[in-house]
Structure 1
Amino acid sequence: MTGRSKAHHKLARQVVRMSWNKLNLFTLANKKNFDIESNKTLFQRMWQAKRDTRGYHGPQIKERQWLRMFNPKLPTLNVKIGKNTRAHPNTASLTFSDMERRVDFIVFRSHFASSIWNARQLVLHGKVYLNGKKFRHPSHLVKDGDIVSVKPESVATLSKPEGGGQELKFTPRPYQQAFMFLPEYLEVDYNTCSTVFLRSPLTQPGKTELPSPFSPETHALAYKFYLRRGRSKY
């Protein structure tokens, strides 16, 4: 394990990352206070929620860069089902939804990279294509229908078989199973190592599409923190 990897996954901090690293899985399984303690002041709760959610959603992004992306306009929706009205989760759970349009996020969510840092590295090294053209900008926000693809030999789970041969074979990586889910807004073709970005994440009755280990209530606190800070400089 490299020194940089250790810095991302310090157990004492209990920060969950976008990573298959075994230390991250340990943190995910043993983290305390996924729900913010109610005996803290409102500001303390908002700050902790901001710290936790940002630790997972875009830790490679500087705060000033994130503040330029922050969108305070998140509607509250309700859907009528028969005689009952079933509320969507608090739409503040979509606070970080614009990040999901980033090229590096799509590479990680598609399971082509073992961490968000690995995904960023693949983009910078010219291993990623956007709509068929080599693309080196991990922070670029794609449009609906854009196709992101990765060179098969650079995909984390593909490797050449022992004894030679040109065909790549799928080789599961240790500790990746907990992160092997696909968001509904991505359409992934593992035969071509490509992903179509369909649309922004949505809330649906009883759930939110944005992958996160944190509850909508925690996201709501983080949203309030950033709403207060607005576009102020750090």
Structure 2
Amino acid sequence: MRDANVYSLKRAMPRMSWHPRNLYNLWRRSLGAKVEDTVFTRTNRSLYQQRWVSKALLRAYHGDYINEKIFKRWYLPQTLPDVRETLSNTSSSTESVNKWALREDAAQKEAKRLQNEREKGLAPVGSLMFREVERRIDVLLFRACFAHSVYEARRMVVHGDVLLNGKKHTNPNTRLAPGDMFSVDPKAIRFLQANAAQTAESESSEETPEDESAAETAEEDSRVVRIESSEDADGEASPASSKSNSSKPSTPLPKWAKPGSGVTPFHLPPYASPFLFIPAYLEPSFATCSAVYVRHPTARPGYSEIPTPYDADGEIVRAAWEWYTRVRPRMRSKSQLARMPENRQ
């Protein structure tokens, strides 16, 4: 990676990761002191600075490992969907036809739908500028909870631990098509390891400095000792507590994760459990360590399927789109089309 300290507490830029430092930065940007930095109604920054900050924050989360030039040319849409009420007259005529045909139930249903659309307002389509990024296989691996971070998901693809439609796939830049299925080698998923709930995420030296990773490892080791010496939920001492001289204590699996229970032993880190989610356009199967990309992400009034730490139609997204409208990609030549990342449509 270009930047070794991606989880910097000073910059506090949220990333696609369940690292505790990243979750702390996410909290600071959502509820903490860093919220005031992005309230542009009360700021002394110029319009150029507002757009630049918004673009930097969104790109830090949505594909910070993608080169800016490549993102603008291949992952940035030419335009966003139109959210004007172009079907209002058609809907009104449909309601009139239903009344004339004595279909009162259909007429009432159409009137209720129009009322709900008026109450919710326009669809938050600003977040759809990152729809092409969400189609990448490494991002989908992270969304399906098969990896602790998008950086780990990229390594899994490059190292050959991922199958796309039953064949080994080593290109993390591939954008999937609806119906594509990808599967992961269970040995490469740390969420399935027995000690994944107690050990901290050990990012590579390219992502975090060695002194920070050493401090986090020491803290998690002390946490493991406290967990192992505690009693289980039934009031009985765990078997690991009797082995105090063991250098690597192991916590017994819960009843739902024991062999023969029929459930995949999915061990979540305690700091990530409240935040984990799976988007609606993915259908994962943890029993087979696979997932199906069902459809492309969409947006409707009051709801956006693009996971983002910011308001899907807020000031940050709007300012970032205004920034990118000034730097739209030029016409793509044949030589440029030959270098396009794989797009399965």
Q: How far 1:166 moved relative to its partner? A: 9.4
8 Å Cα contact 1:150-1:193 kept in structure 2: yes
Structure 1 residues 48 and 178: alpha-carbon distance in aligned structure 2, compared to 1, 3 A threshold: farther
2:56 is equivalent to residue 51 of structure 1: yes
Instruction: List structure 1 segments (4+ residues) > 4 angstroms apart after TM superposition.
Output: 3-6, 160-163, 165-168
Q: How far 1:87 moved relative to its partner? A: 2.5
2:321 is equivalent to residue 223 of structure 1: yes
Q: 2:103 matched to which residue of 1?
A: none
Structure 1 residues 64 and 5: alpha-carbon distance in aligned structure 2, compared to 1, 3 A threshold: closer
Distance 1:204 1:219 in 2: 16
Q: 2:128 matched to which residue of 1?
A: 94
Q: Percent identity between the aligned chains?
A: 34
8 Å Cα contact 1:95-1:219 kept in structure 2: no
Q: How far 1:178 moved relative to its partner? A: 4.0
8 Å Cα contact 2:124-2:301 kept in structure 1: no
Which AA in structure 1 matches 2:275?
F
2:80 is equivalent to residue 74 of structure 1: yes
Which AA in structure 2 matches 1:37?
F
Q: Which residue, out of 140, 154, 167, partners 1:120?
A: 154
Q: Deviations over 1:59-91 (max 9, x none)?
A: 111111111221132113358724452323331
8 Å Cα contact 1:76-1:90 kept in structure 2: no
Q: Which residue, out of 191, 194, 205, partners 2:301?
A: 205
| Structure 1: stretches of 5+ with no match in the other structure | none
1:148 aligns to what SS in structure 2? strand
Q: How far 1:5 moved relative to its partner? A: 9.2
Distance 2:299 2:133 in 1: 16
Distance 2:62 2:115 in 1: 37
TM-score (norm 1): 0.89
Structure 1 residues 151 and 82: alpha-carbon distance in aligned structure 2, compared to 1, 3 A threshold: same
Which AA in structure 1 matches 2:286?
Y
Distance 1:5 1:61 in 2: 12
1:196 aligns to what SS in structure 2? strand
2:161 is equivalent to residue 109 of structure 1: no
Q: Which residue, out of 12, 16, 19, partners 1:18?
A: 16
Which AA in structure 1 matches 2:160?
G
Q: Deviations over 1:85-118 (max 9, x none)?
A: 2323331121111111101001000000000100
Which AA in structure 2 matches 1:123?
V
- The structure where helix makes up a greater share of residues is 2
Q: 1:65 matched to which residue of 2?
A: 70
1:220 aligns to what SS in structure 2? helix
Q: Which has the larger radius of gyration?
A: 2
Which AA in structure 2 matches 1:107?
L
Question: What number of residue pairs does the alignment pair up?
Answer: 229
2:281 is equivalent to residue 185 of structure 1: yes
1:61 aligns to what SS in structure 2? coil
Distance 1:21 1:83 in 2: 43
